[in-house]
Structure 1
Amino acid sequence: MTQNASTPELLWRPDPDRVAASRMAAFRTWLRAERGVEVADYQALWEWSTGDLEAFWGALAEFLEVRFHQPPSRVLAEDTMPGASWFPGATLNYAEHALRPGPGKADADLAVIFDREDGRHEELTFGELRRQVAAVRAALVDLGVRRGDRVVALAPNTPSTLVAFLAAASLGATWSSCSPDFGARAIADRFTQIEPVVLFAVDGYVYNGRSFDVRPTVAQLREEIPTLRATVLIDYLSAEATLDAAIPWNTLLAEHENAELTFDPVPFDHPLWVLYSSGTTGLPKGIVHGHGGIVLEHLKALALHCDFAPGDRFFWFTTTGWMMWNFLISGLLVGTTVVLYDGSPAHPDLGVLWRLAAANRVTYFGTSAPYIQTCLKQHLRPAHEHDLSALRSLGSTGAPLSPEGFDWIAEEVGREVQICSISGGTDLCAAFVGASPDVPVWRGELSCRMLGAAVAAYDDTGAPVTDEVGELVITRPMPSMPIYLWNDPSGARLHEAYFEPYPNTWRHGDWIRITPRGSAVIYGRSDSTLNRGGVRMGTSEFYRVVESFDEVQDSLVIDTSAAGTEGELLCFLVLSPEVALSELEPRLRAELRASLSPRHVPDRFVQVEEVPRTLNGKKCEVPVKKILAGTPPERAVSRDALANPDSLRAFLDLTRWESPKVL
């Protein structure tokens, strides 16, 4: 799978003064003085960081002042995957790093800004945050919560959710959360696996101008999770909200308002939280990350790559069911104010997040590539309509950001704003390709491989390639790789998920091209490749062309080819109102033929009302392909893993599984 590419347009160049003042530059200076390591530029630093893992991660921990209560015997005891043993013997605590005194963390310094779509606004200083965490920690201790117990939350992206998490982490309990807009079955599929002892839950939430009562779901969960000892009800919609046998949040805080804040040191690989795979084809995998790996990985990303410092304000549009929430709240590790938002990104209009950024003087604005694409198609002009003078960087993830998305950001947000297109995964709770303050931004490209992330592209034979599209792999361990999957004592599921077919190598499941500049382009999932006449192409290239049409609101492309046979190429389209497919189709065919190839012009275009998406908003390419191949839908995809399960009906109509009894 090759890609002919010339050097793209340079959209952003690092300012020399900013580079000199960055933490990345300070780290290189420190390495020279303290370790005798000379690295001329970012590429040389990356090569050293992935070539000598022990030296890099050990130096990083010292430079960023990781506090070990018990020091490690070494940095990396086993350089294997899976099974790498990081910082053996060390003890530490994530919550302590988030709340310990330091630059930007004085009691009066602002820790959290929160806005809700209906106008609710809250702010918490570090002093107030510490007091609330101390109170909830004391309450959890009174409820019998101990190290290793699981504490879960059915709650949105709010200060109380953050407080509950930090309290649980402070005593070594393991955290997990779901967004309250998840269906009851999807929540139970996640929480019942890990047998939690305490549930934090809101009484309801607001979205798109409506209020939703969550208490019936909470009552159902309590019946399905026999291990629960207590439920804490957070009065998020109404101060009068009650639930039988539940402890009111405000009562919990008041009864422990004078509690002392302490932190229990735990081993480096002690479980911090459980995140989940999408669960489209069965129970979601419970992905367990450790305290130490997340502290190191997030400190590296936020201090060095994002160049955060006290006074910065960090926003990412996310829910508590997406790993970007975990990444966002880690801004506290570096003394940055985290900006939380709960609500629809399009209510009352698509400008709501840009107004939030202006009002709160956000310096780093994070969102998804589909949101950027929507802003582009709606012809928004944020910098012309709002004061975004504080904005320094714009992060994008969740899907490949198209070159046109890069152009829109440069033109309508600001050419001085660094475009930080990143790619990573829930599996590592980290980005492994992204941006750095000392690396340029090229149109359509992720600027660099992250420090310590030995990312490579493999061809069909398992050999590394440069400037060719290949399988995205990681060839050396990273501290934030899962310590295990839940209910996988032998490690067989972990090995099957990430370490086949390449021994001792992490296979992530994406197509990537690494350029001679050290930048990268992501082309979509490797298990949903368009293989036409032996010419393979990532789906992101297809979507870039189709969704550039204003008349197309969303799309899904499926290659029904199976091993040894070439099937149909089908393009499903969600069209704007009053757009006729018959009139649009010839233009689509002509543009796809010219921009991609004649082989990648679909055999059929089919109009649908919705594209099936997971609860985290990802297109369901592989499940739909399975359904179109004749797999019964109940085996192809878990209905409860979808944000819009009824969207599957249009695809069932194309198969023999048309009976309304199926779904």
Structure 2
Amino acid sequence: MTEPRWVPDPGADTRIARFAAFAGERRGLRFPGYAELHRWSVEQLGDFWQAVWDFFDVRSATPPGPALAEPEMPHAKWFPGAQLNYTEHALRDRRPESVAILDVREAAEPVEYTWGDLRRQVAALADTLRRNGVGRDDRVVGYLPNIAEAVVAFLATASLGAVWSSCGQDYAVPAAVARFGQLEPVALITADGYRFAGADRSRAAEAQRLREQLPTVRLAISVPRLGSGVPGMLPWADAVAGEPEFAAEPVAFDHPLWVVFSSGTTGVPKGIVHGHGGVLLEQLKTSGLHFGLGEGDTFFWFTTPSWMMWNSQAGGLLTGARIVCYDGSPTSLWELAARCEVTVLGTSPGFLLSCVKEGAKLPALPSLRCVGVTGSALPASTAEWLADRLGPRVQIASTSGGTDVVTGFVGAAPTLPVYAGEISGPCLGVAADAYDPAGRSLVGEVGELVITEPMPSMPLRFWHDPGDVRFREAYFSTYPGVWRQGDWATHTERGTFVLHGRSDSTLNRHGVRMGSADIYDAVEPLPEIAEALVLGVEEPDGGYWMPLFVTLSPGTELDDGLRSRLVAAIRAHASPRHVPDEIVAAPGIPHTRTGKKLEVPLKRIMQGAEPSAVADPAAVDDPALIDWYAGVAAARAAALAKETA
């Protein structure tokens, strides 16, 4: 694809263009385009982040000091004198009567929370927490659906200088305890359940068990989403009663804001700690400049509080945009976007691919100007399908980042063209590159996605990680002083990026590295295939086995004809080298709770590891599937042993 599917309007009045003019005027510089602005943003990091601070009028109770006082990773020092608070910036200078949050349930009309409602409830809940002994550095956890009360709880917690963490109620109690138990929380905020796909999912009993297994909890608050709440807990209405004055506790730039957790499929979930100031600046940049959000916009990302995109959606409030909290099934996503007059909608490649296969009819979406896509690589064919239906007015903003930094590394911007199957470029302030094993920069070839300069939202640390041992091992053990994300990426000649999947689940045939996403892009658009999983398995005798597991659409059989079509699609859309050794019909593909395929644990099972040692069932959406794949591994091991006997 040589022609872009979407091109920016050079005369459009975008916030990113206003920022470029603002930053350039102050420094006697001129930025003709995005490339020049990005180059300056990574070559003059301190100046760039100071410009973000000034442009968005970030306020500190004390002189903030230099923007970048110490640039060395992994612990760069940003604005060392600052005293600020995330919640203060989210709620300040808002019109009380304007809508801040639309809270939506399945088969129900949206409930509006004005900025006045939000500010009052945040102040009241903070007062309740404070009167129950919750203060700076204490941990408050939320076992909640994606509802407005979750946002209120987060903002109230942050306003006190306490530390927030959350997960969705699709997590079983052991999985929630594996996360929250590490934090020793003093307060738990939960709901009695949620409605999904037309059915009520009561979680009252699970919420009670969770409280029992968190012995440090002194205060438990219940949101009555389905009925009257959870017995024995303080009702939400009582927790947010009264009208105390709103106040936010000033904290240091690097004071902990929240702890987000890794998927935890291969061990104890890692608690990743981020700071008030770093998240504030990063979300202002992403929401305000890359997505162009502001007053009058409606921001809706289909997510759960278990995924960092929930944190990103909450960040939309920093720009004055209203956000949509929705805890139901994605089947009505497009209709919901139309009803709520969404301007920026976020979803996943998996959802879009299901729309392609079902031949989904999109409603009129006159307010929509951008569709954000993240979670995995977006196939070019899916991007083309969506672009054809949305037309040239709507930008498809494919993004890749991570829970590690609660933001994107590479993504889109209102001033960058969009090419189907590619990510438009590196995000502002992100020195993204692709490295070969020797640490040399690559262009036009697959390499490790790396970040060569610090970002303010990089983790402060991992929870319970003395000496930063696990933290350094996770990101800095491959290239000292350079962040390795663990994704395969191609940095193209025109400056775009193509993501190929996780590098720790590498496909490496005859020394040639390949990405699993290239194979998924080829086979998953076929109507016969519901989903696919490919593994590259190094075997003890020096052999290499690359099976492709496919989940079939109803009424489909994996016969020789379908196998031939799959091979032909892989040859045509990837290469002959990508053709698997074997194609196997599978009853399903297991995922993490945030929707990522379990490539690494299943690879290790195929290499002989015990399933219990590499995959925590509580962190998997369908644990029974692990046993099926273990059976495949055992059968192959037996066959190989018979061959060599």
TM tier relative to shorter chain? over 0.9
Q: Does 1:579 align with 2:556?
A: yes
Residues 533 and 566 in structure 1, CA contact (< 8 A), matched pair in contact too: no
Q: 1:656 deviation in Å?
A: 3.0
Q: 1:419 deviation in Å?
A: 0.8
Question: Residue in 2 aligned with 1:249?
Answer: 236
Question: Residue in 2 aligned with 1:483?
Answer: 460
Question: Residue in 2 aligned with 1:215?
Answer: 204
Residues 468 and 513 in structure 1, CA contact (< 8 A), matched pair in contact too: yes
In 2 relative to 1, CA 242–559 (structure 1 residues): closer, same or farther, beyond 3 Å? Answer: closer
The aligned runs of 1:196-345 (5 Å cut-off) are 196-238=185-227, 240-244=228-232, 246-254=233-241, 257-345=242-330
Residues 533 and 599 in structure 1, CA contact (< 8 A), matched pair in contact too: no
SS in structure 2 opposite 1:10?
coil
SS in structure 1 opposite 2:220?
strand
Question: Residue in 1 aligned with 2:61?
Answer: 69
Q: 1:593 deviation in Å?
A: 2.9
Please give the root-mean-square deviation of Cα atoms over the aligned residues, in Å: 1.4
The aligned runs of 1:536-575 (5 Å cut-off) are 536-562=513-539, 565-575=542-552
Question: Residue in 1 aligned with 2:339?
Answer: 359
Q: 1:415 deviation in Å?
A: 2.2
The Cα offsets for residues 409-446 of structure 1, whole Å up to 9 and x where unpaired, read as 11112221011000000000010100111111112111
SS in structure 2 opposite 1:327?
helix
Letter of the 2:56 counterpart: L
CA distance in 2, matches of 1:397, 1:465: 24
The aligned runs of 1:100-115 (5 Å cut-off) are 100-101=92-93, 105-115=94-104
The aligned runs of 1:392-541 (5 Å cut-off) are 392-541=369-518
Q: 1:40 deviation in Å?
A: 2.0
> Higher mean Cα deviation, 553-562 or 170-179?
553-562
CA distance in 2, matches of 1:357, 1:405: 19
Residues 299 and 322 in structure 2, CA contact (< 8 A), matched pair in contact too: yes
In 2 relative to 1, CA 564–425 (structure 1 residues): closer, same or farther, beyond 3 Å? Answer: farther
Runs of 4+ in 1 over 6 A off after TM superposition: none
CA distance in 2, matches of 1:587, 1:408: 21
CA distance in 2, matches of 1:360, 1:291: 30
CA distance in 2, matches of 1:424, 1:272: 19
CA distance in 1, matches of 2:31, 2:556: 56
Q: How many residues align?
A: 635
Q: 1:164 deviation in Å?
A: 0.9
Q: Does 1:608 align with 2:586?
A: yes
SS in structure 2 opposite 1:654?
helix
Q: 1:563 deviation in Å?
A: 8.4
Identity of aligned residues (%): 46
CA distance in 2, matches of 1:509, 1:457: 11
Q: 1:241 deviation in Å?
A: 3.3
CA distance in 2, matches of 1:29, 1:485: 38
Question: Residue in 2 aligned with 1:10?
Answer: 4
Letter of the 1:216 counterpart: A
SS in structure 2 opposite 1:108?
coil
Q: 1:127 aligns with which of 98, 116, 132?
A: 116
Q: 1:339 deviation in Å?
A: 1.2
SS in structure 2 opposite 1:67?
coil
Residues 191 and 229 in structure 2, CA contact (< 8 A), matched pair in contact too: no
Q: TM-score scaled to structure 2, two decimals?
A: 0.97
Q: 1:517 deviation in Å?
A: 1.9
CA distance in 1, matches of 2:396, 2:575: 30
SS in structure 1 opposite 2:583?
strand
Q: 1:564 deviation in Å?
A: 8.4
Q: 1:657 deviation in Å?
A: 8.8
Q: 1:191 deviation in Å?
A: 0.2
**Structure 1: 5+ residue stretches without partners:** 1-6, 347-351, 659-663
Letter of the 2:349 counterpart: A
Q: 1:366 deviation in Å?
A: 0.5
The Cα offsets for residues 388-408 of structure 1, whole Å up to 9 and x where unpaired, read as 011000000000000011101
Question: Residue in 1 aligned with 2:156?
Answer: 167
Q: 1:24 aligns with which of 9, 13, 16?
A: 16
Q: 1:114 deviation in Å?
A: 1.6
CA distance in 2, matches of 1:121, 1:28: 37
Q: 2:604 aligns with which of 603, 619, 626?
A: 626
Residues 532 and 566 in structure 1, CA contact (< 8 A), matched pair in contact too: no
The Cα offsets for residues 505-551 of structure 1, whole Å up to 9 and x where unpaired, read as 00000011112222111111111122122222100000011112100
